[in-house]
Amino acid sequence: MKIIFGSDYQGKKQVERMKRALSHVGKVVDVVEKNPALDNYIDISKEVSRLVKKHKTEGILMCGTGSGTAICANKHKGIYAVACYELTHAKNAKIINNANVLCLSAFTPVEKNIKIAMRFLETKYQGRKPHRLKAVRKLEKANVRQS
């Protein structure tokens, strides 16, 4: 599994530990390491979203609250980003909503962020209530341009 990862300056202290932990699950592609010119959560979210769509994989973003990256990532068609602060949030976001991008807060301790990320990556969508995802895709089709 390829994991597309990106963090702004707020998460800088957690980046290496996060990447090391995630490498046990798959190949981590750090968009900021590949392109240091990406220096804000808006551009980082855009690049992670682009690569998640291109490789049909999952992404992990980090900024101060996790909310900014979630807002930006969700502006991209086919991206279902969620800011999660608890293990159950990450698990249910995948099981119920088929989320493909996890957004973390740099203000959360790194050990907890690692656990949340691992739970997100190990959990699979269970296909429950597909009519809801169909309705979300219909809403997306009507309101979000192809990026």
Domain tally for the chain?
A: 1
**What tokens were used for 95?**
């099981």
- Structural domain harbouring 61: 2-143
pTM: 0.94
What is the pLDDT tens value at each position of the chain, 147 positions in all? 999 999 999 999 999 999 999 999 999 999 999 998 888 999 999 999 999 999 999 999 999 999 999 999 999 999 999 999 999 999 999 999 999 999 999 999 999 999 999 999 999 999 888 888 899 889 888 887 765
For the range 107-111, what are the long-range contacts, defined as Cβ-Cβ under 8 Å and sequence gap of 24 or more? 107/10, 107/64, 107/65, 110/13, 110/14, 110/17, 110/18
Residue 112's CATH number = 3.40.1400.10
